[in-house]
Each structure stands twice: as structure tokens, then as C-alpha cells.
Structure 1
Amino acid sequence: MENYKQFLVILSSAGVVGLIAIIFAIRWVLYYQGGLAWDGKAAEFNWHPLLHISGFIFLQGVAIIVYRLPWTWKYNKLIMKFVHATLNLVAFIFAVVATVAVFDFHNDANIPNMYSLHSWVGLAAVILYGLQLVLGVGLYLMPFTPVSWRAAFMPIHTYSGLFLFGSVIAAALMGITEKLIFSLKTNPAYKDLPPQAIFVNILGLLLVIFGALILWIATRQSWKRPSEQFLHSLHSDRGSEVGSKVGPSLSQLSDGVEGEEAFGEVRRRNNKFEDQVN
């Protein structure tokens, strides 16, 4: 992998920021918002931001970059597809439960549903995410799907995944701001910036930073998983004539500056191996 140390720094930063955001969300709902329950009351609503942040944002972010973890490159691409799909499925389940919690709370408290921009963007993201998951499984995990369909849909699948990830973070920012406005009307008001407001504003910044780091990792072409043909040639033809044409071994590719330069050269000399289907 090119710039391997930089990758590790950004990946570690994303993990730390994401976990801190989840801790902040737990602290917010337990300390400031009265805890968790499933009784149609305010404590049930608290599942909404917690599951949204921990599942729909954090797990989705992990699913987006799972292919780019170099220590997973030794595994077959099909295995990583299942890992990617499983993470997205769990994230979707979290999102559905979070959505049910907020509708249940609104109905019990006679609060109108679907009147805010947050609700519009959020529900649209959940529905489109489910559609993305179904299409992804159908196209990339079903063996009978034509290869041409997979190749044609891949740019759309990649773009829509990143777009939905950004939309989910935007919905979360709108939601936590809306919740603060409703929770902090007087004594103290949100505009007076009480401790809860500062705390949740920092949570929002953490979500933005996490999203930015995930998107940076996901959009670096040099950190993309090599094609299956290329990886197979490194494993099976090391030291052979084909291996000498393709380039250095995996151990060389991950060994310092020389490995980075060699890997860059390999990518330039082996674009024909790029896997556009998977």
C-alpha cells in the first residue's frame, strides 16, 4: 500500500473519533436525556440518536472502508463482500429500530410525524439505504448476476454509498440540533449555550470529523484494494516469470518507502488487472 503510515494514522483517527462520538451519544442520552427504555415515552426516543450514531453512522463508515484494510487483502474478495454486506445489514437494522422508536414516541405523545427537514432527509436515507443494500446483495453476491450488470452498476453503487453516508451525517446534525432546541427552551435556553448544548455541539463536530476521515480513506485511489488477479499472482507466482513481470511480493509492498514506490509502479504497470466488476 502506498503511504501506508498515513493510512494507519487516518484510519486510527477515524476509529478513535467514531468511538468517542458513540461515548458522547451514550453520555448524552443517559445523563442529560433521562436514560433508555421502550415504553413510548421520552426514554424510548433516546434510542433514536444512540442507534443512529452507533449503527447508521459508525458501522456504515466501517462498512465503506472495509475493502481498504490491507490486512484483509489476503482473504478472497467474496468473503469481504459478505463482511461488507453484513456490516451494512446491521447498520440498516439499527436505523430501522431507531426510526421505529421515534415514530412510537411521537404517536404516544400525539406529536405530528414527518414535518421537519430532519425527518424528511432521515427517512429518505433509511429507505434508500435499504434499496442500496438489496441491490448490492442482488448484484454482487448472487452468482447468476451478469458480469456486465455488475460492472455497469459499480460507479452508481459506489457513489450512492458515499452520498447516503454523507446524508445520514447531515440528518444526524439536523436531528441533534432540533432536539437541543426543543429540550433547551428556557432556563437555560439553547442560545445561552448551557453545558448540554456545548456537549452536543461537540458531538456534532465529532460526527463531521469522522465522516471526513472515512470519505478521505474511501476516495484515495492509491488505497484501493488491488484486483483479485493481481493478488493471486503475488501469492501463486512469487519468484516465477509471471511474478517478475507483475512486481514485488506482498511483504515487499508493505515494507517502507521502497515498498510504496514499488507498489505504485506495480499499479501503473498492471492497470489491466484492475477489477471493475468486484
Structure 2
Amino acid sequence: MVTIRLPKPSLFLLARVSGFIVAILVLTWALHFKTSFVPYAPSQEDLIYAVLHPLLMVIGFILISGEAILVHRWLPGSRNLKKSVHLCLQGVALASGIFGIWTKFHSNDGIVGNFYSLHSWMGLLCISLFGTQWLVGFLSFWHRGEARTTRVQVLPWHIFLGLYTYGLAVATAETGLLEKLTFLQTIGNVPRRSTESTVVNGLGLGLALLSGIVILTAISPKYHPSKSKESDIQTSNGYHLS
């Protein structure tokens, strides 16, 4: 059996490019087509909060948490430095996610009025898991009195839940895009064939591509540039295709 592996720098480049495209698309949608958020925003203040919601959840929550996942793969330095940067980035992502959800609850509909769809339920589940994950990670890997054996036992679950929550965040964003676009097309604000529909669909595809690249990079073997190319050519009998 032949295994084909992309060099790790190529994966990092793909992750950064896809993340940049996602950021441009969500900024274009939220700022250029902001009139689409007017039905949810009877006042200027409500409009600002409505526009902030996709920006915070996509750029602040998904993109930054994805970058935090990759820190251990690209950042040089000690393990403590990598863990510090990872924890800080995840903290920024958590704060962005909490504030992003609050912007929806800030509207005149209130909390109950916004807690009706699959998107809202998945969002609350995702931010709850993310917050719990961040707290457990802090206690497990930064509490100096914690036994090493306990940290080793928790690590696989920490990695699994981190990747699961990241995938859940992307899935939640996809349901939000679908819900928003369907609503706008139903009330006639956005035609099915329009520039805005193309931008929103492109944003959904970009998020799906980004999540796949980030997860693949996180679980793939570490890249060692000092190794010769010959050592990277093996098959199931001792060789694989680089």
C-alpha cells in the first residue's frame, strides 16, 4: 500500500491561504452587504451587533482557534512557550465566541427569542464545550502540582475534544450561513442568483476546506526538514511515497 504525504510547509501554506480567503469573504459579506442584516437590526446599534456576530464567530472564534491548534506544529521554541501561546490564542477565541453569542442575545428578541434553531443550539453546545476544554486544559497542563501521569492520561482526550469542538464550530457556522441565506431568499431580499449568494456559498465552502486542512495538519506526522528525501520514500514494506 502506497501512502502519499504532503510536506508540512505545504499544509501550513494551504491553511493560511484558505484562512485568508475565509476572512476576506466574511468581511465582504458583513460589511459590503450589511443591508441584508437590516431585518434583524431596527436601529443602528442593533445593526452593529448583527454585523459583529459573523465577524466574531468566524474570524475571532474559528480562525483564531484553528491557529491555536497549529501552534504546536509551526512555532519554534520550548514546550512551555508553545503551550502559553496555544492557551492565549484559545482564550482570545473563547472571548470572541462568548461576545459573538452575546451580540445575538443583545437584540430586542432577547435570549429565548434567539434560542429556537439548530444553529443556536449547536452554538451554545460548541461554546460550552470550548470553555470547558479551555478550563480543563489550563488546570491539567498548567497546574504545577498536577501529577505527570494525570496529564498524560488527559492529553489524548484534550486533543480529541479540541479537534471535535473545532469541527463542531465549523458545522455550526455552516448551519448559520444556511439559515441566514435561506431567510434572506425567502423574504426576497437576496435573489437565489446574486453576488451575495455567491459570497455566502463561497464562505461556506472556504470554511469546509479550512477545517479539513487544519485537522489534517494537526494529526499528520511532524515535519523534519533535516531528513533526506530518500528517508521519506517508503512503502508498506518499508517505503512510502513522499
Instruction: Report the TM-score range of the alignment, normalised by the length of the smaller protein.
Output: 0.7 to 0.9
- Unmatched 5+ stretches in structure 1: 225-249, 262-278
Q: Distance in 2 between matches of 1:7 and 1:106?
A: 48
Partner of 1:203: 203
Q: What corresponds to 2:8 in structure 1?
A: 7
CA deviation profile, 1:20-58 (whole Å, cap 9, x unmatched):
111111110111124899954133111111111102111
Structure 1 window deviating more from structure 2 (168-177 vs 36-45): it is 36-45
CA contact (8 A) 2:141 2:151 kept: yes
Q: Could you tell me how far apart the structure 2 residues matched to 1:6 and 1:77 are? A: 23
Q: Hey, what's the Cα distance between the residues in 1 that align with 2:63 and 2:147? A: 32
Task: Tell me the CA shift for residue 184 of structure 1.
Answer: 2.5
Higher relative contact order (CA 8 A, sep 6+): 2
Q: CA deviation at 1:203?
A: 0.5
Residue 254 of structure 1: aligned partner: 226
Show the counterpart of 1:129.
130
Calculate the TM-score normalised by the size of structure 2. 0.85
Distance in 2 between residues matched to 1:4 and 1:179, nearest whole Å: 38
1:160 and 2:161 aligned: yes
Q: SS of the counterpart of 2:113? A: coil
Q: Distance in 2 between matches of 1:60 and 1:137?
A: 15
CA distance in 2, matches of 1:88, 1:179: 27
Query: Quick check: 1:49–1:176 contact (8 Å CA) kept in 2?
Result: no
Considering only aligned residues, what root-mean-square deviation do their CA atoms show, in Å? Answer: 2.6
> Secondary structure of 1:215's match?
helix
Contact persistence 1:188–1:194 (CA under 8 A) = no
Q: Output the CA distance in 1 between the equivalents of 2:108 and 2:216.
A: 37
CA distance in 1, matches of 2:6, 2:153: 34
Q: Matched residue of 2:171: which SS?
A: helix
Aligned equivalents of 2:5 and 2:88: distance in 1? 27
The structure-2 alpha-carbon separation of the partners of 1:254 and 1:4, relative to structure 1 and needing over 3 Å to count, comes to farther
The residue number in structure 1 matching 2:61 is 56
Query: 2:87 is matched with which residue?
Result: 85
1:210-234 CA deviation, whole Å, 9 max, x = no partner? 00000110111x217xxxxxxxxxx
Query: Residues 6-25 of structure 1 correspond to what in structure 2 (within 5 A)?
Result: 6-25=7-26
Q: Deviations over 1:33-92 (max 9, x none)?
A: 2489995413311111111110211111111111111x51xx111111101100100011
Q: Deviations over 1:140-171 (max 9, x none)?
A: 01111111110111111010000000000000
Q: 1:117 to 1:4 in 2, by over 3 A?
A: closer
Alignment CA distance shift 1:5-1:119 (3 Å) = closer
Structure 1 residue ranges, 4+ long, deviating more than 6 angstroms after superposition: 35-38
Q: What does 1:62-101 align with in structure 2 at a 5 Å threshold?
A: 62-69=67-74, 72=76, 75-101=77-103
The corresponding residue for 1:147 is: 148
Partner SS for 1:105: coil
Distance 1:197 1:9 in 2: 31
The Cα shift of 1:186 comes to: 4.1
Q: 1:116 maps to what in 2? A: 117
Q: What secondary structure sits across from 2:109 in the alignment?
A: helix
CA shift for structure 1 position 112: 1.0
Would you say 1:173 and 2:174 are equivalent positions?
Answer: yes
- TM-score (normalizing by structure 1): 0.74
Paired letter, 1:86: C
Q: Secondary structure at the match of 1:223?
A: coil
Aligned length: 226
